[in-house]
Chain A
């Protein structure tokens, strides 16, 4: 036992991981969950959703009020035209558009089912279900017209919700998750693990006594890993399409580029981590945390739009969530890559930042990294 403590005492990273990082991470996760407990949690309450009232009737006005009152739709925006709302969907401005068509009140008064149309951002799988179930819940308190109850002449039949937007099979969504996981997992290990291994075996020192520059080493490793990731993408896609029959809406080039954005971002992070001179074992531990973070906070399984509080803040700062968003939009709905300028900018800035800081740290810690 004392020997174990002696070993631990000499290993600062082990102390840091076992006594600080792991307890802090899990307590913080618990704290984040508790933070949400006091609030009326709603997945859609903070999502900007357009309310387009084409009926302009008392009934449509009351529908708007009941949605707002339910606290499931705190960002219900009015003033959009249907075409504008559809054009904004998927670009981060709007996640859904609720359209109340002309004749809504008339149908209710005629004892017919009122119809509302809900357009969802089909690049955000998961939002459709959340919006639908919350509208459903809000309609239970919906009274289209006080006169209906008072006179008793007209019976309120109900409102039918027509969902518009692509609906994805679990497999198609799973494909984006699989691709991301394969790319992040392999790339991080190849770069950070590769650098650590080179340092531990002394080949990194050999490179440093040759005329090759640090920039060239980084570029060389990046190009090698880009090639590997292209191969990896085709293997995953090949399996998904030809073995499991997945339907891909993406332009192949956009899809490959989307994967490469995530890969290069991860490579930059890998270089950054390797600049701390950690061993291969520590790389594996960090990889575990990275994957855990991505699972929890970047839209791997739960769309980042549906996260709340601290979870959403983490998702907002994690550049991978934008990469995953790009991948989902290009793969699932074939959205052109160049239309995703906001996400692309964040990814580009993050890549430059990761590579720049990694380059500086590798340069500064050169002596520490020599075996």
Chain B
């Protein structure tokens, strides 16, 4: 059984009267890619900052690799890597100079640091740019440079806070693939994002954070199912008669059928059930109906998120509140 990399109990952070993070319980095993999903200002970054010892919790406790984030902060720092907007590299130094500096701060023996630096630069195709000043790099390359710097000491836990923001699609994809590979090698990754599609693509488990509270946690599939177990079959078929519709309604596992010429919508209990699609198609063809297009829609994590956070109005209200705070 894998060890627990991160555990938090009632972790809370207050700034004056404002509670940024509110009693969060988490247990993340080693090697897991854990996604923290939430809108801007939901408390993701504050939670990450507490876990990487930049902020002290107002209440509750947290342990990283078995070390308390307050009492053993120095031990925690040795074991983590952080990539976040507020944590930067020296722009007046080259990427190589930055890496040398940070490997010194982590007390890495020079030969190990050198090997690791070359491997990482190779892995990220950074060799040619390693002598360039960080300040001269584009935002995509800058992000990569920060990831390399965060990995230089071979951390057990990596915090990636909104890393794909501002990245081009290719770089974002490469980064997701690389992160997945890291987790397969045993590194625990906390990936915070406000892009709803990202956790679905890579995360083993996702926590939805809203107004400082962790409102739901599970695999992307579990989160989607928590909103609705139904998938939607959408068929474009004109001039359907009433008796055909009745036949479709009588198919098992179909709970609702609506028809607004030419769109037929059927909600299915078992998502992605190909049998239902085949049964409906057969009825339509037997009735001599024309089928122009067939679509099966499953609930997305975005829909799950909106549903769990109380709908779009609730998110708008929260965003307005967050803007006022800023």
Contact = CB atoms under 8 A, between A and B. Distances in A.
Interface in A171-228: 201-203, 205-213
Nearest to A210: B105
Given A209-B54, A209-B77, A210-B102, A370 B49 contact: yes
Contact of A211 (B49, B78, B86): B78
A371 interface: yes
Given A209-B80, A211-B105, A367-B56, A203 B90 contact: yes
B106 interface: yes
B52 A210 contact: no
B54 A208 contact: yes
Contacts of A211: 74, 77-78, 105-107
Interface string B61-96: 000000000000010011010101111111100000
The interface size bin for chain A is 10 to 19
Interface in A342-371: 366-367, 370-371
A173 B154 CA distance: 57
Interface in A306-365: none
Interface in B99-142: 102, 105-107
Contacts, number: 52
Given A367-B56, A370-B54, A370-B55, A206 B89 contact: yes
Interface in B139-156: 149
A371 B105 CA distance: 20
Contact of A206 (B49, B53, B78, B88): B88
Nearest to B88: A202
A213 B74 contact: yes
A19 B77 CA distance: 43
Interface in A110-156: none
A105 B228 CA distance: 117
Nearest to A201: B88
The interface size bin for chain B is 20 to 34
Contacts of B77: 209-211
A361 to B, nearest CB: 16
Contacts of A209: 52-54, 77, 80, 82, 87
A303 B55 CA distance: 48
Nearest to A216: B105
Contacts of A206: 82, 87-89, 102, 149
Interface string A292-313: 0000000000000000000000
B87 A205 contact: yes
Contacts of B88: 201-203, 205-206
Nearest to A212: B105
A202 B80 contact: no
Contacts of B80: 209
Interface string B228-243: 0000000000000000
B28 to A, nearest CB: 18
Given A211-B74, A211-B78, A201 B107 contact: no
A210 B152 CA distance: 11
A205 B85 CA distance: 10
A285 B106 CA distance: 36
Interface in B157-193: none
Interface in B29-59: 49, 52-56
B105 A202 contact: no
Nearest to B55: A367
Contacts of A367: 54-56
Given A209-B80, A210-B106, A211-B78, A202 B53 contact: no
Nearest to B53: A209
B189 to A, nearest CB: 16
11 contacts: A205-B87, A206-B87, A206-B88, A206-B102, A208-B54, A209-B82, A211-B78, A211-B105, A213-B74, A367-B54, A370-B54
Closest 4 CB pairs of A and B: A202-B88, A371-B86, A210-B105, A205-B87
Given A203-B90, A208-B53, A209-B54, 12 more contacts: A201-B88, A203-B89, A205-B86, A205-B87, A207-B105, A208-B54, A209-B77, A209-B82, A210-B105, A211-B74, A211-B77, A211-B106
